[in-house]
Chain A
Protein backbone atom coordinates (compact mmCIF):
# COMPACT_ATOMS: atom_id res chain seq x y z
CA UNK A 1 0.00 0.00 0.00
CA UNK A 2 1.12 3.50 -0.74
CA UNK A 3 2.08 5.66 2.21
CA UNK A 4 2.90 9.34 2.47
CA UNK A 5 4.96 10.71 5.34
CA UNK A 6 5.29 14.31 6.41
CA UNK A 7 7.83 14.40 9.20
CA UNK A 8 7.28 18.02 10.24
CA UNK A 9 3.99 18.53 12.10
CA UNK A 10 4.71 22.26 12.38
CA UNK A 11 7.02 24.75 10.70
CA UNK A 12 7.46 28.48 10.96
CA UNK A 13 9.05 31.06 8.71
CA UNK A 14 9.63 34.77 8.73
CA UNK A 15 7.80 36.81 6.17
CA UNK A 16 9.84 37.16 2.96
CA UNK A 17 12.05 34.20 3.86
CA UNK A 18 12.14 30.74 2.27
CA UNK A 19 10.85 27.55 3.84
CA UNK A 20 10.94 23.93 2.74
CA UNK A 21 8.34 21.34 3.72
CA UNK A 22 9.34 17.70 3.54
CA UNK A 23 7.46 14.72 2.18
CA UNK A 24 8.44 11.14 1.50
CA UNK A 25 6.33 8.40 0.00
CA UNK A 26 6.41 4.71 -0.62
CA UNK A 27 5.17 3.06 -3.80
CA UNK A 28 5.97 0.25 -6.20
CA UNK A 29 4.37 2.08 -9.12
CA UNK A 30 6.43 3.68 -11.84
CA UNK A 31 3.78 6.14 -13.02
CA UNK A 32 2.13 8.39 -10.49
CA UNK A 33 1.36 11.94 -9.47
CA UNK A 34 2.41 13.86 -6.40
CA UNK A 35 0.63 16.90 -5.04
CA UNK A 36 0.85 19.60 -2.44
CA UNK A 37 -2.46 20.91 -1.17
CA UNK A 38 -2.91 23.97 1.01
CA UNK A 39 -5.69 24.26 3.57
CA UNK A 40 -6.09 27.75 5.03
CA UNK A 41 -8.38 28.46 7.99
CA UNK A 42 -11.28 28.64 5.55
CA UNK A 43 -10.70 24.83 5.32
CA UNK A 44 -10.90 24.83 1.55
CA UNK A 45 -8.48 22.37 -0.08
CA UNK A 46 -6.40 24.27 -2.63
CA UNK A 47 -4.04 22.58 -5.05
CA UNK A 48 -0.68 24.32 -4.84
CA UNK A 49 1.44 22.25 -7.21
CA UNK A 50 1.63 18.82 -8.77
CA UNK A 51 4.38 16.68 -10.25
CA UNK A 52 4.12 13.83 -12.73
CA UNK A 53 6.62 11.14 -11.85
CA UNK A 54 7.71 10.61 -15.45
CA UNK A 55 8.85 14.23 -15.70
CA UNK A 56 12.37 14.81 -14.47
CA UNK A 57 11.96 18.57 -14.35
CA UNK A 58 10.77 19.90 -11.03
CA UNK A 59 7.40 21.64 -11.11
CA UNK A 60 7.21 25.36 -10.35
CA UNK A 61 4.25 27.63 -9.73
CA UNK A 62 5.27 31.21 -9.03
CA UNK A 63 6.81 31.23 -5.52
CA UNK A 64 6.19 27.52 -5.05
CA UNK A 65 8.55 24.86 -6.33
CA UNK A 66 9.25 21.24 -5.61
CA UNK A 67 12.36 19.14 -5.28
CA UNK A 68 11.34 15.75 -6.67
CA UNK A 69 13.81 12.96 -6.03
CA UNK A 70 12.25 9.85 -7.56
CA UNK A 71 14.91 7.37 -6.49
CA UNK A 72 14.77 8.64 -2.93
CA UNK A 73 10.96 8.90 -3.06
CA UNK A 74 11.13 12.42 -1.77
CA UNK A 75 8.93 15.35 -2.74
CA UNK A 76 9.62 18.58 -0.84
CA UNK A 77 7.88 21.91 -1.29
CA UNK A 78 9.82 25.16 -1.27
CA UNK A 79 8.01 28.41 -0.64
CA UNK A 80 10.03 31.47 -1.54
CA UNK A 81 9.38 35.02 -0.36
CA UNK A 82 6.86 33.74 2.19
CA UNK A 83 3.75 35.83 2.66
CA UNK A 84 1.29 36.01 5.53
CA UNK A 85 -1.30 34.43 3.29
CA UNK A 86 0.85 31.32 2.98
CA UNK A 87 0.03 30.41 6.58
CA UNK A 88 -1.96 27.19 6.36
CA UNK A 89 -1.90 23.44 6.75
CA UNK A 90 -0.04 21.82 3.87
CA UNK A 91 -0.74 18.27 2.77
CA UNK A 92 1.44 16.14 0.55
CA UNK A 93 -0.50 13.55 -1.47
CA UNK A 94 0.11 10.67 -3.87
CA UNK A 95 -2.00 9.12 -6.60
CA UNK A 96 -0.83 6.47 -8.97
CA UNK A 97 -1.29 3.43 -11.15
CA UNK A 98 -4.74 1.93 -11.10
CA UNK A 99 -5.25 3.35 -7.64
CA UNK A 100 -7.16 6.45 -8.73
CA UNK A 101 -7.26 7.57 -5.11
CA UNK A 102 -5.32 10.24 -3.32
CA UNK A 103 -3.34 9.13 -0.29
CA UNK A 104 -2.51 12.02 2.01
CA UNK A 105 0.20 12.71 4.53
CA UNK A 106 -0.76 13.95 7.99
CA UNK A 107 0.02 17.53 7.18
CA UNK A 108 2.42 20.30 8.16
CA UNK A 109 1.08 23.44 9.82
CA UNK A 110 2.98 26.44 8.49
CA UNK A 111 3.09 29.67 10.48
CA UNK A 112 4.35 32.85 8.84
CA UNK A 113 5.69 35.43 11.26
CA UNK A 114 5.56 39.12 10.32
Chain B
Protein backbone atom coordinates (compact mmCIF):
# COMPACT_ATOMS: atom_id res chain seq x y z
CA UNK B 1 0.00 0.00 0.00
CA UNK B 2 1.13 3.54 -0.75
CA UNK B 3 2.51 5.61 2.12
CA UNK B 4 0.55 8.68 0.98
CA UNK B 5 -2.86 7.99 -0.52
CA UNK B 6 -4.96 10.50 -2.38
CA UNK B 7 -8.58 10.07 -3.39
CA UNK B 8 -10.01 10.36 -5.93
CA UNK B 9 -7.38 9.86 -8.62
CA UNK B 10 -9.45 11.76 -11.17
CA UNK B 11 -12.52 13.96 -10.82
CA UNK B 12 -14.66 15.93 -13.20
CA UNK B 13 -17.05 18.46 -11.74
CA UNK B 14 -19.07 21.49 -12.71
CA UNK B 15 -18.60 25.13 -11.89
CA UNK B 16 -20.06 26.03 -8.50
CA UNK B 17 -19.89 22.54 -7.02
CA UNK B 18 -18.21 21.80 -3.71
CA UNK B 19 -15.34 19.35 -4.00
CA UNK B 20 -13.22 17.63 -1.39
CA UNK B 21 -9.91 15.96 -2.11
CA UNK B 22 -8.67 13.61 0.54
CA UNK B 23 -5.20 12.59 1.64
CA UNK B 24 -4.11 10.03 4.19
CA UNK B 25 -0.65 8.86 5.19
CA UNK B 26 0.85 5.95 7.04
CA UNK B 27 4.32 7.45 7.53
CA UNK B 28 3.56 8.98 10.92
CA UNK B 29 4.67 12.40 9.72
CA UNK B 30 3.45 15.57 11.37
CA UNK B 31 3.82 17.81 8.35
CA UNK B 32 1.40 17.64 5.45
CA UNK B 33 1.07 19.79 2.35
CA UNK B 34 -1.24 20.44 -0.58
CA UNK B 35 0.31 21.50 -3.88
CA UNK B 36 -1.24 22.38 -7.19
CA UNK B 37 0.49 21.67 -10.53
CA UNK B 38 -0.33 23.59 -13.70
CA UNK B 39 1.46 23.17 -17.03
CA UNK B 40 4.33 25.63 -17.28
CA UNK B 41 3.97 26.77 -13.69
CA UNK B 42 5.44 23.89 -11.72
CA UNK B 43 4.03 23.03 -8.31
CA UNK B 44 2.67 25.76 -6.07
CA UNK B 45 1.83 25.45 -2.40
CA UNK B 46 -1.83 25.86 -1.42
CA UNK B 47 -1.86 25.01 2.30
CA UNK B 48 0.38 23.25 4.78
CA UNK B 49 0.00 21.89 8.28
CA UNK B 50 2.73 21.21 10.82
CA UNK B 51 0.43 19.37 13.20
CA UNK B 52 -3.26 18.85 13.83
CA UNK B 53 -3.68 22.29 15.39
CA UNK B 54 -1.51 24.17 12.93
CA UNK B 55 -2.78 25.21 9.50
CA UNK B 56 -1.02 27.71 7.27
CA UNK B 57 -1.77 29.34 3.96
CA UNK B 58 0.57 28.83 1.08
CA UNK B 59 1.11 31.09 -1.89
CA UNK B 60 -2.21 30.35 -3.64
CA UNK B 61 -4.80 29.63 -0.93
CA UNK B 62 -7.66 31.77 -2.26
CA UNK B 63 -10.66 29.64 -3.16
CA UNK B 64 -9.45 26.69 -1.09
CA UNK B 65 -9.84 25.49 2.48
CA UNK B 66 -8.33 22.57 4.37
CA UNK B 67 -9.06 20.37 7.33
CA UNK B 68 -6.57 18.35 9.33
CA UNK B 69 -8.84 15.75 10.82
CA UNK B 70 -6.04 13.74 12.39
CA UNK B 71 -2.29 13.42 12.15
CA UNK B 72 -2.77 11.07 9.22
CA UNK B 73 -5.51 12.92 7.32
CA UNK B 74 -5.44 16.25 5.51
CA UNK B 75 -8.25 17.19 3.14
CA UNK B 76 -8.53 20.01 0.64
CA UNK B 77 -11.86 21.59 -0.25
CA UNK B 78 -12.99 23.79 -3.07
CA UNK B 79 -16.15 25.42 -1.75
CA UNK B 80 -17.34 26.59 -5.16
CA UNK B 81 -15.21 25.20 -7.95
CA UNK B 82 -14.29 27.36 -10.92
CA UNK B 83 -12.67 26.36 -14.23
CA UNK B 84 -9.27 27.89 -13.42
CA UNK B 85 -9.00 25.45 -10.53
CA UNK B 86 -8.59 22.70 -13.11
CA UNK B 87 -5.20 21.25 -12.21
CA UNK B 88 -3.28 18.28 -10.83
CA UNK B 89 -3.31 18.33 -7.03
CA UNK B 90 -0.68 16.70 -4.88
CA UNK B 91 -0.63 15.90 -1.21
CA UNK B 92 2.76 15.44 0.43
CA UNK B 93 4.23 14.73 3.85
CA UNK B 94 7.55 15.29 5.57
CA UNK B 95 9.08 14.28 8.85
CA UNK B 96 12.22 14.79 10.86
CA UNK B 97 13.31 17.52 13.25
CA UNK B 98 15.04 20.82 12.70
CA UNK B 99 16.59 21.23 9.31
CA UNK B 100 15.98 17.56 8.67
CA UNK B 101 12.36 18.34 7.93
CA UNK B 102 13.70 19.72 4.71
CA UNK B 103 15.24 16.44 3.73
CA UNK B 104 12.49 15.03 1.61
CA UNK B 105 8.82 15.21 0.72
CA UNK B 106 6.79 12.08 0.17
CA UNK B 107 4.14 12.60 -2.48
CA UNK B 108 0.81 10.99 -3.16
CA UNK B 109 -0.04 9.98 -6.70
CA UNK B 110 -2.05 13.11 -7.38
CA UNK B 111 -5.67 13.99 -8.13
CA UNK B 112 -6.45 15.34 -11.58
CA UNK B 113 -9.38 17.73 -11.17
CA UNK B 114 -11.30 19.14 -14.11
CA UNK B 115 -13.87 21.89 -13.53
CA UNK B 116 -16.22 22.38 -16.45
Chain A residues in the interface with B (C-beta under 8 A): 4, 6, 9, 31-33, 35, 43-45, 47, 50, 91, 95-97, 99-107
A-B contact count (CB 8 A): 58
CA distance A6 to B12 in the complex (A): 31
Chain B residues in the interface with A (C-beta under 8 A): 31, 33, 35, 40-45, 48, 50, 58, 88, 90, 92, 94, 99, 101-105, 107, 109-110, 112
Main secondary structure of the interface of A (DSSP, over half): loop
Instruction: Report the nearest A residue to B38, measured CB to CB.
Output: A106
CA distance A10 to B70 in the complex (A): 41
CA distance A43 to B88 in the complex (A): 9
| 20 more A-B residue pairs beyond the given contacts A45-B90, A100-B48, A104-B43, with a C-beta to C-beta distance below 8 A | A9-B40, A43-B88, A43-B109, A43-B112, A44-B109, A44-B110, A45-B107, A47-B104, A50-B103, A91-B42, A91-B43, A96-B102, A100-B31, A100-B94, A101-B45, A102-B45, A103-B45, A104-B42, A106-B40, A107-B42
